[in-house]
Structure 1
Amino acid sequence: MSDTADFLLDLRGVSRGLDAYVVGIAFGRDGVGCAFGLGDGSVHFASLEGDWARVEAHAGAVLALCADCRDGVLTGGDDGRLVRIGVDGAVVELAKFGSRWVEHIAAHESGVRAAGVGKAVHVLGADGSVLKSLAPPSSVAGLAFDPKGKRVAASHYNGASLWFVGAKEDKPRLLEWKGSHGILAISPDGTHVVTAMQENALHGWRLADGQHMRMSGYPTKTRSLSFTSKGKWLASSGAESVVIWPFFGGGPMGKAPTELAGGDAVICTQVACHPVHEIVAAGFEDGLVVMAEIATGKIVPIAPPGRGAVSALAWSPSGARLAFGTESGFAGVLDLSKR
Structure 2
Amino acid sequence: MTSTDQGKKVWTTQEPEVFDFSVRITSLLKVEGDKGYYGIVGLADGRIYTWELASDFRKGSFYHLHDHGLLHIAAGSEQLLSFATDGTASIFKVDSKAVRRKVFVSKKNWPTDVAISGKGGIAAITDGCELIIFDVSNDQMSVVAKHHGDGGSFSGVEFSSSGQFLAAGSQGKVVICDTRSFEFRNLSWPGSHIDVFWSSSNQFICSMTHDRELHIWDLESGKDFRLGGFGRKVRHVAWNRSSTQIAAAAEENVVIWRINDEDGGFDSRPVEVGCGADCGRCSTFFWITDTELLISYEDGSLVLSDALTGAGRFLLAGPATGEAVQDILVDGDSISYLATQTTLMELHLPSY
TM-score interval (norm. to shorter): 0.7 to 0.9
**CA–CA separation in structure 2 for the residues paired with 1:304 and 1:108:** 37
Q: Deviations over 1:117-143 (max 9, x none)?
A: 222222222223332222234222211
Q: How far apart, CA to CA, are the structure 2 residues paired with 1:195 and 1:72?
A: 26
User: What does 1:63-142 correspond to in 2, within 5 Å?
Assistant: 63-68=71-76, 70-87=77-94, 89-93=97-101, 95-98=103-106, 100=108, 101-110=110-119, 111-125=121-135, 126-127=137-138, 128-137=141-150, 138-142=152-156
Distance in 2, matches of 1:41 and 1:6, equals: 35
Counterpart residue type for residue 140 of structure 1: F
* 1:247 aligned residue: 259
The root-mean-square deviation of aligned C-alpha atoms, in Å, is 2.7
2:47 matched to 1:33? no
Unaligned runs of 5+ in 1: none
Cα distance in 1 for partners of 2:335, 2:130 equals 34
Amino acid at match of 2:32: R
Q: Identity rate of aligned residues, in percent?
A: 20
Change (3 A) 1:98 1:201: closer
After TM superposition, give the deviation of residue 208 of structure 1 in Å.
Answer: 2.8
Does 2:166 correspond to 1:152? yes
Change (3 A) 1:290 1:43: farther
C-alpha distance in structure 1 between counterparts of 2:348 and 2:90, whole Å: 28
1:177 is the counterpart of 2:185 = no
Q: In terms of mean alpha carbon deviation, does 45-54 or 219-228 score higher? A: 45-54
Shift of 1:178: 0.8
Instruction: Please give the secondary structure, in 2, of the residue aligned with 1:105.
Output: strand
Does 297-306 or 220-229 show the bigger shift? 297-306
Q: Calculate the TM-score normalised by the size of structure 2.
A: 0.83
The structural deviation recorded for 1:336 is 4.3
Aligned equivalent of 2:344, options 301, 317, 331: 331
Q: What are the residue-to-residue correspondences of 1:186-225 with 2, within 5 Å? A: 186-225=198-237
- Consecutive unaligned residues in structure 2, runs of 5 or more: 1-7
Say if 2:301 is the partner of 1:301.
no
Aligned residues: 328
Structure index of larger Rg: 2
| Contact 2:260 2:266 (8 Å CA) reproduced | no
Shift of 1:171: 4.0
Shift of residue 197, structure 1, vs aligned partner:
1.3
Q: Deviations over 1:94-153 (max 9, x none)?
A: 622245313312222332222222222222222233322222342222111122111100
Q: Which amino acid in 1 is paired with 2:70? A: V
State the TM-score, normalizing by the size of structure 1. Answer: 0.86
User: How far is 1:5 from its partner?
Assistant: 5.2
Which segment drifts farther, 202-211 or 184-193?
A: 202-211
